[in-house]
Chains A and B, each alone.
Chain A
Amino acid sequence: MTVVSTTLGLFPLPDDARERLADLKGHQKEDLVSGDEPPDIEAAYDEARDDLLTRQSDAGLDRTVEGQARWDDMLAHPLAVHENVRTEGIVRYYDNNNFYRDPVVTGDLTHSGDLARDLEKASALSDDLQAVVPGPYSLSRLATDEHYGSSQEFLAALGDFLAGEVESFPDAVETVFVLEPSLATETLDGGEDERAAAAIDGVAAAADAEVVVQSYWGTYGEKLHAHLLDTDASALGYDLVTAHDDATYLVQEYGTLDSVSLGVVDGQNTLVESPDTIDERIEWFRDQIPVSEFDTVYATPNTELFYLPVNKFQAKLRALGAAGGDRE
């Protein structure tokens, strides 16, 4: 079994980039990223990406992410910069004291290439690149549809859109993390679970890389979990920080995919876990599972890391980098 230390991306902006970008862009919602930044802002983002990749490789992480410094709107970013999407008022990001611009889809979600462009730049700087994308179901919950007409069609369209984006990722991308917090924060009913899994399956099938579907702030419903096990993903992710008992129950009862991703570091608390604590949490999970041979165990924070101040973010990267490694 290989333990691969990585993150769910969406990092805090390093201090100098934060100050520089606030000066260049401004503080109002109309100042946020639109997808066609002028050269001075693009240069600031290029430097921030370089900085974030260096921090990860210095920390010894096995997979490094682009860091998504440009994602002003957290997981809603790929829509917020799309030409057929208008951004409206500031809305709450899940149950947090964080806000993003409400993306209102007004036309076909055509191929954008926004994520691929950032990954191309990162691929020149990293040998172990991992992409992070929002899952189609979460994106459907974070956005407003004025074009597709029904929640079913909207979800399917988001699945197709994300599959197209993932398909154009550079070859250097070794893993794609598909973040799906809404699969845990909402109760999916009326066939929604099956449709969500089908949309995710489309994204997973389009990737020329290992695909990890990760939810957090709770875990999957039992039926949804069963549907997710039928997808083309390589691993399912479980949030052991907020739902370790429910998550292990699911895996005990229904099994999981050949690989597993475990949220073992609290992405929303400044208390920094030691590498030993991280290892113990992984061991604890393995002990709960009768057949505990996984191809790969991804060791991650349970959430994105932008909630943390930069010093604690950095400390969490180092702890993750020092934990794990190859083991029997």
Chain B
Amino acid sequence: MSENREQFRPPGHENDHFLLTTVVGSYPKPSWLNRARDLHADPESEFDDEDWREAQDDASRLITNEHERAGLDVVVDGEMRRNEMVEFFADRIDGYEFNGPVKVWGHNYFDKPSVTGEVEYDESWLVSEYEFTASVADRPVKVPITGPYTLASWSFNEAYDGEEALAYDLADLVNEEIEKLVAAGARYIQIDEPALATTPDDHAIVGECLERIVSGIPDDVRIGLHVCYGDYSRIYPELLDFPVHELDLELANGDYDQLDVLKQPEFTKDLALGVVDAHVAEVESVEQIERNIRKGLEVVPPEQLTVSPDCGVKLLPREVAYGKMENLVTAARNVEAELDAGEIDVPARD
């Protein structure tokens, strides 16, 4: 278990055992925020920059509080200020330019940026987002950041001699951003690398990126890595060599069919286990989620287990997303109580 985990146990936590509950990051935006965005983009509207900032603050406060109401131990603001996981960062990094949307599937597009020159740190990406969220939250705040490998892979590379060189330069920028976040008080950072799932052979590049990312970051800052929708057998056990405290994996979507992959060799990191499916618009029952949490105990003991959804939940209807969070927390607290009472076996200890 990583030693920086205990700082996230809420004061007065009711059970001796503590399963850290959190989310991956994104959350459905309130519909009024989308209307506000359209108004802000409309040159004929009187809805100015100040109004737009206020709308984003309101949304950030609303979702942070919604996470707290669900009972999560560590909260996020649902990424209310971010449009898309690559676009948001590329927009803030020198060296990127946008040429227009490209297709992902059907009529779903994203503004895939081009790297046309050396990437450089310009304005801060997330410090103001963190400071605002922390100011309205009563619980610790996690900061998700799109990882450099994904930022490189999901861009057109016009300037660098290969994706690897670009990813390393971006990793140095991520490191600079994390230093600023830590100075602002952040103690929980999550690097999102979904692109690793599409090209698992590049795990060594992701590993080197992470070495650069954590360079000089104090040990009490918890660093997680989120990977989703891939064949974990192609990146495990190599994942265990990454300089992170926690690995956040999507597993509920495949009904834990990849769980055995993580049992040998021993899982030595903290495991953030996906216990609700981010792409099924039905709220899993508390009992179902308890069963899912127990799956995690086959891989790691409770002191290494974090409980979270599979992935960002922004595509779900908001009430479904909330229902999943609420049941996730209830299930985690139930399992803690059963662990306290010695009613649950922990296969990972055997």
For chain A residues 206-264, which have a beta carbon within 8 Å of chain B? none
3 closest A-B pairs by beta carbon, nearest first, are: A309-B100, A99-B105, A271-B158
Collect the chain B residues with CB atoms within 8 Å of residue A306's CB.
102-103
Contact of A97 among B114, B154, B157 (CB under 8 A): B154
Q: Does chain A have a CB within 8 A of B187?
A: no
Q: Does chain B have a CB within 8 A of A22?
A: yes
Contact of B158 among A31, A99, A270, A310 (CB under 8 A): A270
For chain A residues 292-317, which have a beta carbon within 8 Å of chain B? 306-312
Minimum C-beta distance from B110 to chain A (A): 9
Query: Contact at A98–B105, with CB atoms within 8 Å?
Result: yes
Q: Does chain B have a CB within 8 A of A54?
A: no
Query: Contact at B107–A27, with CB atoms within 8 Å?
Result: yes
Collect the chain B residues with CB atoms within 8 Å of residue A100's CB.
105
Given the contacts A270-B156, A271-B158, A97 and B104 also touching, CB distance less than 8 Å: yes
Contact of B107 among A21, A92, A268, A308 (CB under 8 A): A21
Seed contacts A22-B107, A95-B198, A99-B105; 17 additional CB < 8 Å A-B pairs? A12-B102, A12-B103, A18-B101, A18-B109, A28-B106, A32-B107, A72-B105, A90-B105, A92-B198, A269-B157, A270-B99, A270-B156, A271-B158, A306-B103, A309-B99, A309-B101, A312-B99
- Give Cα distance in the complex from A28 to B153, angstroms: 25
For chain A residues 84-139, which have a beta carbon within 8 Å of chain B? 90, 92, 95-100
Q: Does chain A have a CB within 8 A of B108?
A: yes
- Give Cα distance in the complex from A307 to B114, angstroms: 12
- Give Cα distance in the complex from A312 to B101, angstroms: 11
Interface string of B123-160 (1 = CB under 8 A from A): 00000000000000000000000000000011011100
User: Who on chain A is nearest to B150 by CB?
Assistant: A97
Q: Does chain A have a CB within 8 A of B199?
A: yes
Q: Does chain A have a CB within 8 A of B112?
A: yes
Contact of A309 among B102, B106, B107, B198 (CB under 8 A): B102
Query: Contact at B100–A311, with CB atoms within 8 Å?
Result: yes
**19 A-B pairs in the complex with CB atoms less than 8 angstroms apart:** A15-B100, A18-B101, A18-B107, A18-B109, A26-B107, A31-B106, A32-B107, A72-B105, A92-B198, A97-B104, A98-B103, A100-B105, A269-B157, A270-B99, A307-B102, A307-B103, A311-B99, A311-B100, A312-B99
Collect the chain B residues with CB atoms within 8 Å of residue A310's CB.
100
User: Who on chain A is nearest to B100 by CB?
Assistant: A309
User: Who on chain B is nearest to A99 by CB?
Assistant: B105
Q: Which residues of A contact B (CB under 8 A)?
A: 12-13, 15, 18, 21-22, 25-29, 31-32, 72, 90, 92, 95-100, 268-271, 306-312
Query: Contact at B156–A269, with CB atoms within 8 Å?
Result: yes
User: Who on chain A is nearest to B199 by CB?
Assistant: A95
Q: Which of B100, B103, B104, B158 has the most CB of A within 10 A?
A: B103
Collect the chain B residues with CB atoms within 8 Å of residue A12's CB.
102-103
- Give Cα distance in the complex from A243 to B7, angstroms: 52
Minimum C-beta distance from B90 to chain A (A): 13
User: Who on chain A is nearest to B111 by CB?
Assistant: A309
- Give Cα distance in the complex from A282 to B106, angstroms: 35
- Give Cα distance in the complex from A112 to B63, angstroms: 50
Contact of B102 among A28, A90, A92, A308 (CB under 8 A): A308
Minimum C-beta distance from B193 to chain A (A): 13
- Give Cα distance in the complex from A12 to B109, angstroms: 11
- Give Cα distance in the complex from A13 to B106, angstroms: 11
Q: Which of A32, A90, A307, A309 has the most CB of B within 10 A?
A: A309
Collect the chain A residues with CB atoms within 8 Å of residue B198's CB.
92, 95-97
User: Who on chain A is nearest to B105 by CB?
Assistant: A99
Collect the chain A residues with CB atoms within 8 Å of residue B158's CB.
269-271
Query: Contact at A98–B114, with CB atoms within 8 Å?
Result: no
Collect the chain B residues with CB atoms within 8 Å of residue A32's CB.
106-107
Query: Contact at A27–B106, with CB atoms within 8 Å?
Result: yes
Query: Contact at A98–B107, with CB atoms within 8 Å?
Result: no
Collect the chain A residues with CB atoms within 8 Å of residue B195's CB.
97
Given the contacts A92-B198, A269-B156, A270-B158, A72 and B102 also touching, CB distance less than 8 Å: no
- Give Cα distance in the complex from A303 to B100, angstroms: 19
- Give Cα distance in the complex from A309 to B100, angstroms: 5
Interface string of B77-114 (1 = CB under 8 A from A): 00000000000000000000001111111111100101
- Give Cα distance in the complex from A32 to B157, angstroms: 31
Contact of A29 among B100, B106, B156 (CB under 8 A): B106
Collect the chain B residues with CB atoms within 8 Å of residue A13's CB.
103
Minimum C-beta distance from B280 to chain A (A): 12
Minimum C-beta distance from A166 to chain B (A): 26
Collect the chain B residues with CB atoms within 8 Å of residue A31's CB.
106-107
- Give Cα distance in the complex from A97 to B154, angstroms: 8
Query: Contact at A309–B112, with CB atoms within 8 Å?
Result: yes
User: Who on chain B is nearest to A308 by CB?
Assistant: B102
Minimum C-beta distance from A12 to chain B (A): 7
Contact of A98 among B99, B100, B101, B104 (CB under 8 A): B104
Query: Contact at A72–B106, with CB atoms within 8 Å?
Result: yes
Collect the chain B residues with CB atoms within 8 Å of residue A311's CB.
99-100
Minimum C-beta distance from A319 to chain B (A): 14
